[in-house]
Every structure is written in C-alpha cells, then in structure tokens.
Amino acid sequence: MDYTETANIYSQKLQEPEFKKIQDFMLTKLGVKLAPIKIVMVNSRLIKRLKASGIHNFPDYINYALSTEGIRSGEQQSMIDELTTHKTEFFRENEQFDFFKDEVLPEFVKNYRTPFKIWSAGCSSGEEAYTMAMLLNEFQFNHFGFNFSIEGTDVSKAVVEKAIAGIYGGANIAGLDEKLRKKYFIPFKDGKEDKIQAGNALKDKVKFSVGNLANYVTYPNNMFDVIFCRNTLIYFEDNAKREVVNNLLRKIKLGGYLFVGLSETVSQYSKDIKQMRPSVYKKIG
C-alpha cells in the first residue's frame, strides 16, 4: 500500500448512519450500549480494520463486517475485538480478593463445598482468572482436600487467545507481587523485552473459551460457587444488564457469590441476592 492510499484510509470519517448500524449491532448481539459520544472512539478503532481488511471506506466495511460473509471470514469477530474494552490487571480492585480469601473461602471450606468452581465472566486477557488461580493454589497448601477449577470466558476471541497463551509483560504485570510472579510464572525474553508466562500450576486449573454474556446458550455448562463479572456490565444497556445478572444467577449455586466491579451495583435487578458488601452479592433464593 503506498503513502497516498494509507493517508486516504486515515482520513475516512465514520458517519451517523454507519455508526447507528454499529450501535444496533453491539446492542443486539452483545448487549453493549455505545453512547453517541463513542463515535470518535469507534472511528479510530475501526480504521485499523479498514486497513487490514482491504475495504477502505466505512459504509462498505460495515456492510461487509455485518454480513454472513463477514461472519464466515472472521471480520465480524475482529470488529468485536476492536470495539470491546479490555483493560484489566492482576489483583485489580484487590479489596475484593481480600474478602474472597478471608471470608468466602473459609465459609465454603467449612461447608465442604469442594471442588470449588469459579467463573471469570468477561475475563479479558486472563489476569483476573490467573489471580484467582494463584490465591486458590496458596489456599490449597493449607487446606488438605480442597480442590478447585476456574473458567474464563469473553466475547473477544483475541483476548481469549491471549489468556490461553498466558504471556504478559510491561505495565501488565505491575500489580503482580514478586514472590507470586517467581512462583507461578516462567520468565523469558521476547526480543529485548522481559516477559513472563503462566506456568502449569496455573494453566492446569484455568480453562478459557469464547462466550457471549448476552447469549445464554454460550454460558459454561456448569454451576459455580462464585462468579466474578467485574467491569463488564458497565458497558451494557440497562435491560441487557438485568437479563445478564439474572442469567448469571441461574449459574450460581444457592449460597454462592456474585462479584461485580467496585463501581457497579446490581441489587436492583433481583430479589434473590443479598448485598454482603459493596459490589459483592450472595445468592439467597
């Protein structure tokens, strides 16, 4: 591609009618609401796809990505990968992990609920699920007979692939305690960059797959003691959020817990949950 062609792609502007198509698609397919102000963000994120797909204008690109052919070729998935926000980190919102470790785990052990099953719903690149795997491994050392498994799902195939690879570097690993890093990750050089990869003690315990929270048939075929669905529902439209919360509750065992992000509240969506502390709910019905 020559300079003029590249410059031409970068000068493309997403117009209202095309943006509306994307808003409708994201709402219907993912439950995600894109506010009008997001047109700028969508424009800049999709420019990359114009370049990669070889379709160098928005109207044609969007018609293609939303078509059956776009599904078949994987372009629709690539568009979803771009339009979802994946920010995450190890031990994010750490006070929730403290509560999980100090209150939830001892309660379950007392009631002999093992193997303990956890779901990281909207797992992004896996940091949340691997954080839990480290905590649970540590817990297991001191609790003979305790066993656990973790599932992570996300609608973005690109981040699920990263989670499966379990490779992290740079700012990504800032929140990771050095002792845990040395114990559970293998260091290696990627060119000049220092990276780490999750070792088998973590990988054997965590299974990742693509799943859409707005589509119940894609939910894991399991019942869970705890679901973490943090910083994901904030992107959902209110009705979709209500439906997802109730669907998540169908997957939690009675007495189990739902953790949402610290800025999120879901008590208004169900009578079957009791708020235990900010953003932590127990299934009571």
Ligand X SMILES: C[S@@+](CC[C@H](N)C(=O)[O-])C[C@H]1O[C@@H](n2cnc3c(N)ncnc32)[C@H](O)[C@@H]1O
Half-sphere exposure of 163 toward its Cβ, with a 13 Å CA cutoff? 34
Q: Which is nearer to ligand X, 185 or 235 (CB)?
A: 235
Q: Which of residues 70-129 bind ligand X (CB under 6 A)?
A: 84-88, 92, 122, 124, 128
Stretch that binds ligand X, among 42-50, 99-107, 131-139, 206-214 (CB under 6 A): 206-214
Q: Which residues contact 68 (CB under 8 A, 6 or more apart)?
A: none
Among 114, 212, 246, 270, binds ligand X (CB under 6 A): 212
> Residue 172 or 270: which CB sits closer to ligand X?
172
Is-contact 27 212, C-beta < 8 A?
no
Quick one: 214 or 248, whose CB is closer to ligand X?
Answer: 214
Can you tell me which of 42, 132, 167, 214 binds ligand X, judged by CB under 6 A? 214
Question: Considering beta carbons, is residue 55 or 160 the nearer one to ligand X?
Answer: 160
Query: What is the nearest approach in angstroms of ligand X to the Cβ of residue 128?
Result: 5
* Residue in the structure block whose two tokens are 């990504």: 172
Name the segment binding ligand X (CB under 6 A); options: 65-73, 190-198, 199-207, 224-232. 224-232
Which CB, 62 or 248, lies closer to ligand X?
248
Nearer residue to ligand X within complex by CB, 70 or 261: 261
DSSP state, residue 87: -
- In the complex with ligand X, the residue whose CB is nearer, 117 or 146, is 117
State the nearest-atom distance from the C-beta of 5 to ligand X, in Å: 31
CA dist., res. 169 & res. 188, Å (int) = 10
Assigned token pair, 126? 């896996």
Chain positions 121 to 180 lying near ligand X, rule: CB under 6 A, are 122, 124, 128, 154-156, 159
Core vs surface per residue 15-54: b (16+ CB within 10 A) or e:
eeebbebbbebbbeebbbbbeeebbeebbebbbebbbebe
Q: Give the separation between CA 137 and CA 139, rounded to whole angstroms.
A: 5
Nearer to ligand X, 55 or 125 (CB): 125
- Start-end of H helices in 125-230: 127-141, 157-165, 178-184, 200-203
For CA atoms 94, 185, 78, 249, give the dihedral sign.
Answer: negative
Closest CB 211 distance from ligand X, rounded Å: 6
**Quick one: which of 78, 131, 231, 279 contacts ligand X (CB under 6 A)?**
231
Number of residues that bind ligand X (CB under 6 A): 24
User: Binding to ligand X (CB under 6 A): which residues in 235-254?
Assistant: 235
Cα angle 252-255-258, degrees, rounded to a multiple of 5: 50
What part of residues 27-56 is at the interface with ligand X (CB under 6 A)? 30-32
**What residues contact 218, with CB distance under 8 A and at least 6 apart?**
153, 210, 211, 212
Q: Are 129 and 123 in contact (CB under 8 A)?
A: yes
- Residues 97 and 135: their CA atoms lie apart, in Å, by 8
CB of 243 to ligand X, least distance (A): 11
Q: Considering only the stretches 98-106, 209-217, 263-271, 274-282, report the one whose residues sit in contact with ligand X under the rule CB under 6 A.
A: 209-217
As a whole number of angstroms, the distance between CA 120 and CA 26 comes to: 21
N-term to C-term CA, the chain: 60
Site of interaction with ligand X (CB under 6 A): 30-32, 84-88, 92, 122, 124, 128, 154-156, 159, 212-214, 230-232, 235, 261
